[in-house]
Amino acid sequence: MSTDLSHIRNFSIVAHIDHGKSTLADRLIQVCGGLTEREMSEQVLDNMDIEQERGITIKAQTVRLDYKAKNGEDYILNLIDTPGHVDFAYEVSRSLSACEGSLLVVDASQGVEAQTLANVYQAIDNDHEIATVLNKIDLPAAEPDRVKAQIEEVIGLDASGAVEISAKTGLGIEDVLEAIVHQLPPPKEGDPNKPLKALLVDSWYDAYLGVIVLVRVVDGKMKKGQTIRMIGTDAKYPVERVGVITPKLETVDELGPGEIGFITASIKEVADTRVGDTITEDKKPTESPFPGFKPAQPVVFCGLFPVDADDFEDLRAAVGKLRLNDASFSYEMESSAALGFGFRCGFLGLLHLEIIQERLEREFDLDLIATAPSVVYTLKLRDGSEMQLHNPADMPDVMKILEIHEPWIKATILTPDEYLGPILKLCQERRGIQTNLTYVGKRAMLEYELPLNEVVFDFYDRLKSISRGYASFDYQMHEYREGDLVKLAMLVNGEPVDALSMLVHRSAATNRGRVMCEKLKELIPKHMFKIPIQAAIGGNVIARETISALRKDVTAKCYGGDASRKRKLLDKQKAGKKKMRQFGKVEIPQTAFIEALKMGD
């Protein structure tokens, strides 16, 4: 039985981090009876431990709700809860393409933030109707009128009919459901008799069912026993199970046009299911597949190595399993003289890196060292070829390189007026180029172009500490530009340490080298001989520190007598130390690496 299209609503919730998307989703599930009181928990849809602890959504989640409206009609609501964080913008873009409308949730005390803008513009790009919801109306600091005016001024949406709610206490949830039914559109035309055409929205791995694929049916019907074909990968599978998520998985006979549900079809790996792919019937394929999405491009790279070299196989198994559930994470094997075997991994951003690292440590019980994050550079060589550089240690000889291009981003920063000065200074220090400065009420909205390698280091932490946490930051990739970049190598006792080498801008090299040397001087324990620590660009040493030698008092047994006896013993010791320095190996403890790589400015 297929439902009348006019009674289906597919919508997503977009908002800045912490404005209450997941809590609102909880209330909607509760009111529509998706779960009993006993099964209900806080943030039902955030089912990873990390999501619950950090209070953020990482994976977009879907749920189907049955709602009886005040006009007595029954509606099916398909809600997709999307992440608000900039690193997961990729998750947001594909979730939005499966919906026709969005609920824009804005915190009534905080107002519009950087990511509110980014996510709303994405929804508008997908031709969404947008219904505005003001959350946290029960807070003493809430100023609904000011925030409504701000929404109209900044985003240009009419906010006069915004629904005022408190997702925490459940106030006004019924009004949200009515707004969904009356303000958001039903799915566009879909014909159940046409060949099957469905959008692959998401996929994840389940230990019992294998790969579960979330689909949005546009034309035709999806039933158990059909043989389907993925147009992008040209693979065929028999459908084993068709169902809907109410957050529990419930099987149904078929999915018709406009519906969102899941299928399982003995697919081995999540990597076989490309998000944005078109699913059709093998015998009767559709003529017009979807345009698809650009695959997520990793932006930040870093090496992950096990602290104990024996754990390498465990790490290999663990990254393989994580890749099953997160197609935007990529990895390849690498080895380092200092750290042994590990993986060079690509991430969508720093939060993504932190989350993957935390999941590896927590879910697979591994102790890891992460090298300093770096970005992807494009090198133009003198022989006319181009190469991508992921790891500074692999950089070819300087004489072969014609130009180095680095990625730049467009950043939007929203900040209260009083922190504007220090933030401008921070962006200036990071080689930023200001493109715009406007005011949104009492807050300044800065638009900057910044080189990404200055941002991945600790820009976000600095921004938060300068603005006491009030500034919000959002960015998107812009372009590659030529930069005056040099490779900064760290030498300990004349030996280069590959794990600590990095690409930096020439203007910042001396400073960065000096800080690194001072830091290593504190971290490396003393040996029986002097150890020079140097930072070098090519053949030029730009900074140096020396760790003094441990001294044994060889003259202790001399008392009185001729001074030349003491001299002789000291010279002998000196010669021994010199010889030792030539052959001595400096042991750099693992802790020193970890500390040196956590470098703040």
- The answer on whether 56 is annotated among ligand-binding residues is no
- The answer on whether 243 is annotated among ligand-binding residues is no
- The answer on whether 365 is annotated among ligand-binding residues is no
- The answer on whether 20 is annotated among ligand-binding residues is yes
Residue 104 three-state SS: strand
Using the structure block, give the residue that is written with the tokens 């100023």: 143
Roughly what angle, to the nearest 10 degrees, separates helices 590-597 and 506-523? Answer: 150
The answer to whether the CB of 271 falls within 8 A of the CB of 323 is: yes
Residue 81 CA to residue 428 CA, distance in Å, equals 37
- The answer on whether 409 is annotated among ligand-binding residues is no
Going by the DSSP 8-state scheme, the letter that residue 227 receives in this structure is: E
Give the list of residues 6+ apart from residue 17 with CB closer than 8 angstroms, or none: 56, 84, 85, 113, 115
313-352: b (≥16 Cβ within 10 Å) or e = eebbebbeebbbbbbbbbbeebebebbeebbbbbbbbbbb
Least Cα distance to 471 among 429, 435, 410, 426 occurs for 426
Tally DSSP H helices, then E strands, for the chain: 13, 32
- The answer on whether 22 is annotated among ligand-binding residues is yes
The answer to whether the CB of 247 falls within 8 A of the CB of 29 is: yes
- The answer on whether 352 is annotated among ligand-binding residues is no
Handedness of CA 566, 570, 573, 579 (dihedral sign): negative
- The answer on whether 135 is annotated among ligand-binding residues is yes
Least Cα distance to 472 among 18, 3, 11, 10 occurs for 18
- The answer on whether 151 is annotated among ligand-binding residues is no
- The answer on whether 374 is annotated among ligand-binding residues is no
Instruction: Name the residue type at position 246.
Output: T
Supply φ then ψ for residue 499, to 5 degrees. -70, -20
Residue 264 CA to residue 214 CA, distance in Å, equals 9
Instruction: Name the residue type at position 141.
Output: A
The answer to whether the CB of 165 falls within 8 A of the CB of 135 is: yes
The answer to whether the CB of 400 falls within 8 A of the CB of 468 is: no
Residues annotated in the binding site, as ranges?
18-23, 135-138
Residues flagged as binding site for GTP: 18-23, 135-138
